[in-house]
Chain A
Amino acid sequence: MSSLQSTTEEVLRLAAEHFKVPREQLAPDDDFFKKLGINSLQALDLLTRIEHHFKIELPDYELQGVSDFRTLAERIQLRL
């Protein structure tokens, strides 16, 4: 099983790649809505990529109130 640290790193890499932001500009505690400048629709797109990448199902209601990469990685971790 992946560690939380490696899952967080994977999420940061996916987000940087998809939203074309240099990876080094993103940190685990960043608010991804603010840092990436995305809305809920784009966040949903990221969720789909995360589900494909980790081969998991992550209901969007489990992400209610989640806005930083570390907490997002924690929720993913629970599904791995």
Chain B
Amino acid sequence: MKTFQGKTLSWRIADGVIELTLDHAPCNEIGLAMLADLEQFVAALGTLKDEAHALIIFSARSEGFCAGGDLRELFRLSQEVTGAERLSGLRNFIERIHRVMNALDEAPFTTIAAVNGLTFGGGFELALTCDLIVADKMARFCFPELRLGLIPGFGGIPRLKRDLGNAVVRDLILTGRSINAAKAQSAGIVSQVAAEGDSLRVARETAAQLKKFDQNTALAAKRFIKQIPHEELRREIDIFCELFMRPAVEKGLRKFVESKDALPYLP
């Protein structure tokens, strides 16, 4: 398959580079629809590897790369069920997300997230699965989950810990503050900062450079450098599900859902 058009994203291959475009209003929130499309994409990775040496994930939305999990959908679905059914529904969703994130993390070619604007929560976690992050200078990164009484649930903490020193990890998680692209680069999250509106071009130039190398060697290097922290990811799922069942989370989500502001948890 050379092209795919889903409800929330599309992909195409050109010159050995897969371009996966996220395009789901308002800012590529990851809910059931995007999860289903991402599952289709990772199911195709096995065949795509024969034709591709690189993958670029980027957003068609000017608001940003991805604002994270679809909290409105999550709240609505969680209100339809109670107790054990709520917990099993949540765990099933989170397990599916983790399978997608792990598949992207170990994709059999070099992966690049070309991010712009909001790269928050689950969107930040999606970017962290990639081998390289190229950021528009106006991109902003944040893990706001503690403001909702949660921790990141899509693999964020183990992947941050894999890449960064604990001081930065604790700062981002425990303060919930957002940082700009320059700070993210100095912290070691972002590999290149692009001019405003230029992250996709920079990612394409980078992908063209990758084509010069033997793909098997590149893959061996990637597997040596970047291993998936499976044990910590499992623990994250348990903690996330445990926290989600507390009344404070329902209260935080309700406040978020009922607010008319774009980012109710920010100042």
Chain A residues with CB under 8 Å of B63's CB are 41
Tell me if A44 and B178 are in contact (CB < 8 A): yes
Q: Which of A4-12, A22-30, A51-59 contacts B (4 or more CB under 8 A)?
A: A51-59
* A73 vs B177: C-alpha distance when bound (angstroms): 19
Tell me if A60 and B137 are in contact (CB < 8 A): no
Tell me if A61 and B263 are in contact (CB < 8 A): no
User: For chains A and B in complex, what number of residue pairs have CB atoms within 8 angstroms?
Assistant: 49
Residue B175 CB within 8 A of the other chain: yes
Tell me if A52 and B267 are in contact (CB < 8 A): no
Tell me if A59 and B263 are in contact (CB < 8 A): no
B267 contact from A45, A57, A64, Cβ within 8 A: A64
Residue B170 CB within 8 A of the other chain: no
For window 95-148 of B, CB contacts with A under 8 Å fall at 117-118, 137-138, 140
Given the interface pairs A48-B138, A59-B175, A61-B175, the reply to whether A40 lies near B263 with Cβ below 8 Å is yes
* A36 vs B264: C-alpha distance when bound (angstroms): 18
A52 to chain B, nearest CB (A): 7
Interface centre among B118, B261, B264, B267 (most CB of A within 10 A): B267
* A79 vs B118: C-alpha distance when bound (angstroms): 24
Q: Closest residue to B186 on the A side, CB-wise? A: A57
Residue A65 CB within 8 A of the other chain: yes
Given the interface pairs A39-B261, A44-B266, the reply to whether A52 lies near B180 with Cβ below 8 Å is yes
Query: Could you tell me how many residues of chain A have their Cβ less than 8 Å away from some Cβ of chain B?
Result: 19
Chain A residues with CB under 8 Å of B117's CB are 45
A63 contact from B182, B261, B267, Cβ within 8 A: B267
Q: Closest residue to B147 on the A side, CB-wise? A: A61
Interface centre among A43, A48, A51, A66 (most CB of B within 10 A): A48
Instruction: Provide the B156-182 mask, 1 if CB < 8 A to any CB of A, else 0.
Output: 000000000000000000011111101
* A17 vs B205: C-alpha distance when bound (angstroms): 31
Residue B183 CB within 8 A of the other chain: yes
Tell me if A66 and B261 are in contact (CB < 8 A): no
* A66 vs B266: C-alpha distance when bound (angstroms): 12
Chain B residues with CB under 8 Å of A60's CB are 177-178, 266-267
Residue B262 CB within 8 A of the other chain: yes
Tell me if A48 and B180 are in contact (CB < 8 A): yes
Given the interface pairs A52-B182, A59-B177, A60-B177, the reply to whether A40 lies near B138 with Cβ below 8 Å is no
Chain B residues near A (Cβ < 8 Å) = 63, 117-118, 137-138, 140, 175-180, 182-183, 261-264, 266-267
Q: List 8 A-B contacts (CB under 8 A).
A: A40-B264, A40-B266, A43-B267, A45-B117, A48-B180, A52-B180, A57-B183, A59-B177
